[in-house]
Amino acid sequence: MNRIPTGIMGMDELIEGGYPENRSMLVVGACGTGKTIFSMQFIYNGVMKYKEPGIYVTLDERPDLIKEDVLRFGWDLKKLEEKKWLKIIDGTTAKSGINEGNKEFDLEELGHEIIKEVNAIGAKRLVIDSIPALGFNYNNVNDIRKAILRLSYLLQRTGVTTVFTSEIQEGAHKYGKYGVEEYVADGVIVLHYMGIGTQSNRTMHIRKMRGTKHSEDLHPITITKNGIEIHKLEEVYEKT
């Protein structure tokens, strides 16, 4: 099985070298757990470390704000766009119904836009951030589930390795907001942000990864000046 390395420090050794190629991964967690950084780091590392173009679809936050936020890690996304190594697709205006012509959100149109850009830059990596944002455009949960399934099947035809993000409440006994994401995805990575007294800790665990022998441990993570780093428990104990 071909692997697509994330390039995230400490991650790839936990999943036999990277995500299975042309599969979909789901990165879930509560607010503030680092989902956007984790997924953008996958795209950025793809370009900088492995010369693999990537596409980032934002349904939650405006692209200019994302570009501004990740500059703290030294990630100049504007430069990558200019060189055609990266394409950021803004789905926020479509979600709000204020895109060109004031048309309503159209999932099929978004899917075709993604395919067009994949072909245009030869993308190997794709991020959809985030699944719950799709919920604003549908009247009931069943319609949202159908939309997620349609989008997932459509993306399988592109040949890219996809990362979806989704938000869940901390401590929830489920791995997707709508009860379908975790079954559609080939891998599920859960990010936690736990407060204990005056201390707070971020951790990560891999709930599933099809076709992969993976770590089942809870791993501490830190957000550094270079992005997210994943550690082993023994490393943390040695430092303390």
Per residue in 213-238, pLDDT (tens digit) is 999 999 999 999 999 999 987 766 55
**pLDDT exceeds cutoff 80 at 112:** yes
Q: Is the pLDDT of residue 96 over 70?
A: no
Q: Mean pLDDT throughout 101-126?
A: 84
pLDDT at 115: 93
Q: What is the pTM of this model?
A: 0.91
Residue boundaries of the structural domains of the chain: 21-189
Query: What CATH superfamily classification does 21-189 receive?
Result: P-loop containing nucleotide triphosphate hydrolases (3.40.50.300)
What Rg do the C-alpha atoms of the chain give, in angstroms?
Answer: 17
Q: How confident is the model at residue 151 (pLDDT cuts 50, 70, 90)?
A: confident
Reported as a single tens digit per residue, the pLDDT across 60-90 is 899 999 999 999 999 999 999 999 999 999 9
Write out pLDDT tens, residues 23-32: 999 999 998 8
Q: How large is the average pLDDT for residues 164-188?
A: 87
Q: What is the mean pLDDT of the chain?
A: 89
Kindly state the average pLDDT of the residues 171-188: 86
The separation between the first and the last C-alpha atoms of the chain, rounded to the nearest angstrom, is 39
Residue with tokens 């693999």, as numbered in its chain = 52
Residue 71 corresponds to which amino acid? L
- CB proximity list for 187: less than 8 A, separation 6 or greater: 15, 19, 20, 23, 24, 25, 26, 206, 208, 209, 210, 212
Largest CA distance in the chain: 59
